[in-house]
Structure 1
Amino acid sequence: MKAVRMYKPGDLRVEDVEKPIPTDDEVLLKVMACGVCGSDIPRVNTYGAHIAPLTIGHEFSARVEQVGKNIKDFKVGDRVTVPPLMPCYQCEWCEKGLYSLCENYDYFGSRRDGAMAEYVCAPEANLLKLPDNVDYIDAATTDPCANAIHGLCQARVQEGDTVCIYGAGPIGLFAIQCAKVFGAKTVIAIDLGDRKLSIAKECGADHIIDSKEQDAVAAIREITNGEMADVVVDFTGAPPAQINAINSAGKMGRVALVGISHKGLTLGEKEVDNIMRGQISLIGSWNSFTKPFPGYDWTESIKLFAQGKITSKPMISHKLPLEDAPEIFKQIAAGGLFFNKILFLPHGEEME
């Protein structure tokens, strides 16, 4: 079978490899769509992974091709999406059902071979059946949607809230849609440039702010008549946006940091004063896994897809064959490529 293999940062190859054989406790999956996560980009182009060579990819949908003899609840032909985390189920945090904090986890595409390939094996616990009306494209984006919901839940979004979303990438775009579903009164999206912001508007943002053209905090102050936001979620991981996020929150506001930055964050007097005097909560949000595994963030995502309340369709910028993976990552590294959610279709468009 074909697989996208990373040998070291910047060295990505499409190779013919042996088709995996499932153990008695696994299924063999035919990968129908696999997305590029924001975390894949620094992994492939800069930092590398825990093992090498490695088949990358962890956001995917698939069809069951073969089942091990101990598999009970799945059969050949079942359509699934696959949570990429494999918790140890034994550490303190697993025992509490906080699987995102597992201390001894495995993970598709970073610690074991992932799904940017024609086939991959997965344990039964990592399979979620798809309703008939959820297609493989939406299903492959369940992971970013679940991360969006997790961030909103960490920030305790409530009906009637004013919600600011920094970053109109895929997770931010899902957060816009889900915030509206959860009853937000006003959703404000902030990013750089009008291409992503126009998609944010399509996804339901009531206001869009191009922070390249105007002061985002001042614009939020004007939109909210000085009240600022009840909830602010940063999906960029960029320190300037994180600072703006803190300064965008009103009294008793909640600020959740979701975007991975790999950078430090220095708070100035203004930010510390805003946190203290406004009694603002600064909250971390990591991944999306709770009990019963994989948890509410995943099952709610699938439910909302099935109900037609959210969709990935506006954010899909590329549908590509596996052979294009090395070149697309080179283009991303070089800069200048506009992209949002990139999907690889290992078997072409047959799912449509």
Structure 2
Amino acid sequence: MEAIVCTDFGESTVREVERPDPGPDEVLVAVDRVQLSVTECRLYQGDPIAHHETVRARLEAGDGRLFGHEFCATVVETGAEVGDLAAGDRVYAPGKLPCGSCRYCETGHEEYCPDKRGIGYDLPGALAEFAALPAAPLRAVPDGVSDAACAALQPFASALLCALEADISPGDTVCTVGTGVMGYACGQLALSLGAGTVVAVDVVPAKLDRAADRGLVPVDARESDPVAAVRELTDGVGADVVFEAVGGDQSHGTDGDGPLAGAFRTARNGGTVVQVGHVVGDLTLTPRHLRLRNVDWVNPARGVRQVGPNADTGTLAAALVADDRADIESYVTHELDGLAAFETAVDIGLHPENYDALGPAQLRL
């Protein structure tokens, strides 16, 4: 079978490799689509962000089967110990693999495990025609989810974690700073959880148009001051919850014009800022600003967690998309054929403005 093999940062090849056999707790899947996340694209180029040390170590060990944690695949074969999945199921991977032996895991708090392993980073991902994947992080998707939406489900499931941990109350005013894949998802989920008004802030008109189509109030940050716009909507009070969904390089978290500083200014006294985007490097904070206004800064858990006896965040995310209670497929604007288009997909992920792309590119296998 063919697979992408990375030989160094910024270097890859399509190589013929042996088709794997699933272990007892694994499933063999035929990969239908892969969506390259922006994080993966930046890691491939060598940026020192999350997972960089893991990627570097695997490259140095000559183990270049990296990336591909956002995918749609069909189960071909199941290991002897797998009971929740069957051949023919379409799956995606909202979860990670906790170590199972630390104090958190032993006491039922796997979401806080410090040694989680992730598909595509610690383990080979789905940038191949077939993959043998652990069954535990996978979830089946219903028929109402298209292949394109399935490949885009993982970040939506992560956004669901963010929205649930925001503790939104009915009637809340919510603001999402940045309406990329995650911010757009958080805004829609806030409405589903009962928010009265959700403000979507961005500088890309096409993203703001889609936000408006889903019931969000668009604010173009090139033309208006988002903080002032939210204050005006709330009679000077501010937003109950603000999602900071830009991330990237920010020198100061509470001062200046950066997205996080703006998010803190947008939140009301006693409000909440949820950190959705990955901030690169270190931040300077003025704790007094947060303490005086009693603003909570929430950094959500990763992976999958139960939301009740009938569902976890992985299955609920798929159900919301299947029932059109949330839109993610409109951000799939660039679909490429075959693994040979990997480098083009990376470039789209790194420079979406050059391609008029709203979200990451998908590879159709």
Normalised by the length of structure 2, the TM-score is 0.86
- For 1:304 and 1:83, the matched residues in 2 are separated by 14
> Which residue of 68, 79, 87 corresponds with 1:57?
68
- For 2:201 and 2:307, the matched residues in 1 are separated by 34
- For 1:167 and 1:97, the matched residues in 2 are separated by 34
Q: Are 2:283 and 1:265 aligned?
A: yes
Identity %: 29
Q: Per-residue deviation at 1:263?
A: 2.5
In structure 2, do the counterparts of structure 1 residues 326 and 249 end up closer, same or farther at CA, with 3 Å as the change threshold?
Answer: same
Q: Which secondary structure state, in structure 1, belongs to the residue aligned with residue 279 of structure 2?
A: coil
**1:316 corresponding residue in structure 2:** 332
- Supply the AA of the counterpart residue of 2:10: G
Can you give the 5+ residue segments of structure 2 that lack an aligned partner in the other structure? Answer: 251-257
**2:267 corresponding residue in structure 1:** 249
Q: Contact 1:177–1:310 at 8 Å: present in 2 too?
A: yes
- For 2:242 and 2:162, the matched residues in 1 are separated by 10
- For 1:91 and 1:332, the matched residues in 2 are separated by 36
Q: Are 2:238 and 1:228 aligned?
A: yes
Q: Per-residue deviation at 1:333?
A: 4.4
**1:350 corresponding residue in structure 2:** none
Q: Which secondary structure state, in structure 2, belongs to the residue aligned with residue 197 of structure 1?
A: helix
Which whole-Å deviations, capped at 9, do the CAs of 1:245-301 have from their partners, x for residues lacking one? 000001211111121112322235xx843x2333211111242332599x7321221
- For 1:191 and 1:12, the matched residues in 2 are separated by 34
Which whole-Å deviations, capped at 9, do the CAs of 1:77-115 have from their partners, x for residues lacking one? 122222351111221222344434322222111111101
1:89-168 equivalent positions in 2, closer than 5 A: 89-168=100-179
Q: Are 2:226 and 1:216 aligned?
A: yes
**2:255 corresponding residue in structure 1:** none
- Supply the AA of the counterpart residue of 1:339: A
Q: Are 2:341 and 1:330 aligned?
A: no
Task: Tell me how large the CA RMSD over aligned residues is.
Answer: 2.3
In structure 2, do the counterparts of structure 1 residues 4 and 212 end up closer, same or farther at CA, with 3 Å as the change threshold?
Answer: farther
Which whole-Å deviations, capped at 9, do the CAs of 1:208-262 have from their partners, x for residues lacking one? 2222333221222122221210000111114310000000001211111121112
- For 1:204 and 1:250, the matched residues in 2 are separated by 22
Can you give the 5+ residue segments of structure 1 that lack an aligned partner in the other structure? Answer: 348-352
Q: Contact 1:7–1:54 at 8 Å: present in 2 too?
A: no
- For 2:129 and 2:364, the matched residues in 1 are separated by 5
**2:31 corresponding residue in structure 1:** 31
**2:253 corresponding residue in structure 1:** none
- Supply the AA of the counterpart residue of 2:277: G
Q: Contact 2:352–2:358 at 8 Å: present in 1 too?
A: no
- For 1:141 and 1:331, the matched residues in 2 are separated by 15
Q: Per-residue deviation at 1:175?
A: 0.9
Q: Are 2:15 and 1:15 aligned?
A: yes
Q: How many residues align?
A: 342
> Which residue of 303, 306, 312 corresponds with 1:288?
303
Which whole-Å deviations, capped at 9, do the CAs of 1:4-62 have from their partners, x for residues lacking one? 23222211333222222212322100112221223212211223514121331101121
Q: Per-residue deviation at 1:336?
A: 4.1
In structure 2, do the counterparts of structure 1 residues 334 and 165 end up closer, same or farther at CA, with 3 Å as the change threshold?
Answer: closer
- For 1:328 and 1:45, the matched residues in 2 are separated by 13
Q: Which secondary structure state, in structure 1, belongs to the residue aligned with residue 185 of structure 2?
A: helix
- Supply the AA of the counterpart residue of 1:327: T
Q: Are 2:43 and 1:43 aligned?
A: yes
Q: Per-residue deviation at 1:131?
A: 1.9
